[in-house]
Amino acid sequence: MTAVFVEDGPDKGAIWHFGEPNKEQRALLAGTAWADLSHLAVVAVTGEDRLKWLHDLTTQHLLEFGVGIWTSALILDPQGHVEYQFALVDDATTTFIVLDPHFAQGLIAYLNKMRFMLKVEVQGASGEFAVLRAPGAANEVGGPFALVPRAELEDMKKAFGAHATQVGTWALDAERVAAGRPRHGIDTDAKAIPNELGFIHGAVHMNKGCYRGQETVAKVYNLGKPPRRLVMLHLDGHAVVMPPTGTPVMNGEVQVGFLGTVARHYELGPIALAIVKRNTPVDAELTVEGVAASQQIIVEP
């Protein structure tokens, strides 16, 4: 089993696949797969005020956050645009935040700026802890995950490998796209707001106190008309090379959006996430670099 590694992007250095991506995807769907996600960044937040503080800063309700439960959250800018997307888990003394590595230093700097007089401490913990995608059925966060001390990482890999199939990011991306879960920085741009991305009632809790950017989220939610919407595109499988992330999505001669993650799914074929204008007809014959693309609704128009 020869590993092929990701050469660029946020997963650079991670395993892309082992030569049989369809087999890996089937194992992932069956819940008998695991993946090494130790390239992702881990941030540790300690202190008795940590959950109330993170509750106030993020889009997620964390006041009664249980031990060992993974959830997702966002931090928005004042206009409601997504700045950070992450998963988090608490062990009763520390809240661990997991996110793409190129966002980690910015998040740490922002959190430290927002500490004020509260009893919280923030520090990078990627050198001490790593994340694995554990065996089991996929959940809404993309897990199940295992947060493992680096000193125990190789032993945990061996334990998973003894009864499950190791998979790479190809299989994980195919599952994520098919499930309609966008990834910030790949499936989004600087203008993206949670309402466009299917985050409402998931990473965004609609019954909690104020947080930065909430006014935009609430206003668009109440109007029911986000300016754009996330869709899954089924791409014509006859193309040998699929269009790259960021490629314009066209409705005739008019650009109506842009392409995000592109994946080859073992059952669905070539699929992708894309953000398109809300008023784009759902039955429009879209194209991406000349490749025909039909829409599957994720966010209602």
- Tell me the three state secondary structure of residue 171: helix
pLDDT greater than 90 at residue 208: no
Q: What is the pLDDT of residues 34-66, one digit of tens each?
A: 999 999 999 999 999 999 999 999 999 999 999
Q: What is the pLDDT of residues 125-162, one digit of tens each?
A: 999 999 999 999 999 999 999 999 999 999 999 999 99
pLDDT greater than 90 at residue 224: no
> What's the whole-number mean pLDDT along residues 279-300?
95
Two tokens, residue 113:
């700026």
pTM attached to this predicted model:
0.96
pLDDT at 61: 97
Confidence of residue 209 (pLDDT cuts 50, 70, 90): confident
Burial of 59 from C-beta contacts in 10 A (0-12 / 13-18 / 19+): buried
Please provide the size of the chain in residues. 301
Phi-psi region of 290 (alpha: psi -120 to 50; beta: other; left: phi over 0): left
Burial of 151 from C-beta contacts in 10 A (0-12 / 13-18 / 19+): exposed
pLDDT at 153: 98
Q: Please provide the distance, in angstroms rounded to a whole number, between the alpha carbons at the two ends of the chain.
A: 44
